[in-house]
Amino acid sequence: MDAKKLPELPFVPANPRHRFAGEMLSAGLLICTLGIGYLVWTLISWRRGQNPSHQVLKMRVYSIDTGKPARWRHMVLRCALLPYAFFIIPEILIRIGHYKVTTTQVTTATGTMLQNHVSIGNVGAYIAGSVLFFAILFLDALWIFRGTKRQRLIDVFARTVVLNECMENPLYAPAGEIDSIEE
């Protein structure tokens, strides 16, 4: 058997339902732990290539380059820096288009008073930012259905894959065992 044909990862990729369940569990855990507990749990579990929902559902993020679980720095890149980079332009456009509140002084028969006037800043920028934001979310969510590794768009850029550690890859052979496989 040719060593190039051997899959490099010990477990199979998590399927879209498993990943969706992880996202829903993350939302529930975030609410139940009031956010702070979830943040602490997340920062601790990142060193093992997981987040709290991945721990519960037996999933782990693996580096495609090394074939090993992602470490803390890789998880920061994947879970914090890359999403921020993806959404910085839509966020800037939305901020430009936000509402403006102007205060004017109005003189009436009974005296002067301040009157607030709310107007939309730049409608085009707000709409473009909102559409771009949701388009990126939608594209990232649908990207998981491309290919056999079941990677989200963030995973492609971070060079990671989420594996289901409950299901071993039957074709996997560790590097030391490749030499002992008979042809």
pLDDT for the residue 177: 55
Which residues touch 16 (CB under 8 Å, ≥6 apart)?
144, 145, 150
- Over the stretch 18-77, which tens digit does the pLDDT of each residue have? 999 999 999 999 999 998 999 999 999 999 999 999 999 999 999 998 889 999 999 999
Give the residue with greater pLDDT, 126 vs 88. 88
Mean pLDDT for the chain overall:
84
- Confidence tier at 93 by pLDDT (50, 70, 90): confident
| Residue-wise burial string across 90-109, b where 16 or more C-beta atoms lie within 10 A, e elsewhere | beebbeebeeeeeeeeeeee
Q: Is the pLDDT of residue 117 over 70?
A: no
- Over the stretch 14-28, which tens digit does the pLDDT of each residue have? 999 999 999 999 999
Q: Is the pLDDT of residue 103 over 60?
A: yes
pLDDT for the residue 2: 35
Q: Is the pLDDT of residue 99 over 70?
A: no
Give the residue with greater pLDDT, 110 vs 48. 48
pLDDT for the residue 155: 94
Nearest-5° Cα angle at 149, 173 to 70: 70
For range 132-146, the mean pLDDT: 90
